Each structure stands twice: as C-alpha cells, then as structure tokens.
C-alpha cells in the first residue's frame, strides 16, 4: 500500500506540502484480488462518510526522458564500451605507479579484465566436487599474480562463453595481464579473448524457468493464505441469486 502526499510547490500552496492527498495505490499478489476490490470497494462508504473511488491503476511517464542526461538517462552498453576504449587508449600511454591507481590525465584506471573462453561450462557442471573449478581459479590466480596484486577472481561457471573476471589493485597490472591473456591458447586448447570490463555487462546466468516456477509457487501459497482469512462482511464477495 502506498499513500500519496502533496509535494513542495504543488498546487501553489506551501502549507499543503507533505500532507496526504487522499489517494493510494495497492498492489495485490493475485489478479483476482484486483477484480474483487473493484466490485466490493468502488463507491463504498469509508470512514467519516467518504465515498471510495476504486479503479485499475494506470502508470504514465511524467516529464521527458533524456537518454543523454547524466542524471536522468541510463547509460547504454555501447556508450560504456566507448568510454572503456578511450580509457584503455590513455592507459596504454601511461599510468601512475602510486596507490591511487590513476592514469594519464588524472582519470581512474581500468583494473578489471574479462577473460572469455577459459573453460567449458558443461565440463565444470559434470565435476560435482568442483575440483576442476578450484584448480582453474588457483591456476589463473598464480598467472595474474605475476603482474600485481589480485583483489578478486570470479568464475561464471554456467556462462556458455566460459567467462572469468579478474580485479587488480592497479591499472598497470590489469593492462599487462590483458596483453598476456588475449589471444593466448591455453593447455585445454581454448583461445582466450581478453578485454576490459565495461562496467555494465552482467555475466551471471540465471535459471529463468526455475525462478518463474518458484515465484509462481510463492504467489499461489500467498493466495491460498489470503483466501483462508476471515474477512469482514462488507469485504466478502456477495453473489446475487
């Protein structure tokens, strides 16, 4: 349930700011509940003799959306990749060897690289003890440690492209590691594609079908619970004979 209030400057009355408008929106778990609310509550008396007006919610965009705005617009993947390409070019020129991880121009350096085609996800899935996964993590960590301090290694074991992400503490370490891994053929015969992370792409592989089934089960259980609650007479569905 969401109650709406007057905003500052709205309706030209400063004293109304923050006070309740008398409007509310309600989100139900089941669509049948919406139909029941429309039938039972619309034009029904509420407290203080007020008459309720109930209708299906309609959501509309207020104002304009500026896709290029730094505040309102959402950065697209292509824009992010262009920014990464510019930073990569600057990072190739020079960087600050200090602790602040800055590159030419004082910009923050790129410290996260994406390694693709590192493994076969089906092979890792068959390994129930995760021995191959742990061995791969140790192997890549040892290789990356040659270039600098490694903060974190993430293996996306279910990604079809065999993705690993490595985060370094310094941009120069990330640059050296990228140059070493990119195009390299590993002992498993797979050719690695290395690049900087664009800050946008999510390599997590979700089991959408499983999540949908779990959500549907939760909603059904919640709906069954609602149906078993004792409602006041005025809220019960009446069937005319």
Distance of alpha carbon 13 from the chain centroid: 39
What one-character-per-residue DSSP string does the chain give?
A: -EEEEPPTTGGG-GGGTTSEEEEEE---SSHHHHHHHHHHHTT-B-GGG-B-----------S---TT-TTTSPPPHHHHHHHHHHHHHHHHH-B--STT-BBGGGPBPP-EEEEES-S-HHHHHH-TT-HHHHHHHHHHHHHHHTTS-EEEEEEETT-TT-EEEEEESSHHHHHHHHHHHTT-B-TTSPBPEEEE--S--------HHHHHHHHHHHHHHHHHHHHTS---GGGS-----
Question: What pLDDT score does 226 carry?
Answer: 67
Q: Give first-to-last CA distance, the chain, whole Å.
A: 34
Question: What pLDDT score does 64 carry?
Answer: 47
pTM for the whole thing?
0.51
Instruction: Please state, as a whole number, how many other Cβ atoms lie within 10 Å of the Cβ of residue 80.
Output: 15
Backbone φ, ψ for residue 98 (5° rounding):
-75, -170
Question: What pLDDT score does 146 carry?
Answer: 94
Question: What pLDDT score does 104 carry?
Answer: 46
Q: Which residues pair with 116 in a beta bridge?
A: 193
Q: Which residues pair with 217 in a beta bridge?
A: none
Question: What pLDDT score does 233 carry?
Answer: 67
**Rg of the chain, C-alpha, whole Å:** 28
Segment-wise mean pLDDT, segments of 10 residues, the chain, 241 residues: 70 66 78 74 72 77 46 53 67 52 56 93 88 93 94 91 92 91 92 89 73 76 72 62 55
Q: Are 115 and 140 in contact (CB under 8 A)?
A: yes
Question: What pLDDT score does 52 carry?
Answer: 77
């Amino acid at each position: 349930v969401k109650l709406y209030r007057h905003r500052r400057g709205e309706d030209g009355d400063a004293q109304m700011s923050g006070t309740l408008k008398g409007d509310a929106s309600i989100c139900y778990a089941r669509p049948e509940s919406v139909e029941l609310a429309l039938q039972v509550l619309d034009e029904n008396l509420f407290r203080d003799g007020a008459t309720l007006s109930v209708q299906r919610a309609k959501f509309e965009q207020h104002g304009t959306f500026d896709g290029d705005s730094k505040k309102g617009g959402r950065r697209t993947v292509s824009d992010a990749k262009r920014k990464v390409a510019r930073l990569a070019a600057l990072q190739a020129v020079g960087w600050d060897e200090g602790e602040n991880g800055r590159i030419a121009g004082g910009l923050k350096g790129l410290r996260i690289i994406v390694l693709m085609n590192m493994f076969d996800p089906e092979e890792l899935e068959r390994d129930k003890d995760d021995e191959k996964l742990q061995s791969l993590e140790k192997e890549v960590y040892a290789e990356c440690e040659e270039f600098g301090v490694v903060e974190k290694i993430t293996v996306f074991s279910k990604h079809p492209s065999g993705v690993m992400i490595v985060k370094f503490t310094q941009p120069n370490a990330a640059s050296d590691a990228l140059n070493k891994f990119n195009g390299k053929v590993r002992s498993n015969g797979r050719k690695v594609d290395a690049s900087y992370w664009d800050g946008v792409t999510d390599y997590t592989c979700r089991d959408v079908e499983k999540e949908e089934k779990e959500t549907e089960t939760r909603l059904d259980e919640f709906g069954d619970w609602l149906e078993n609650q004792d409602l006041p007479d005025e809220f019960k569905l009446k069937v005319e004979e």
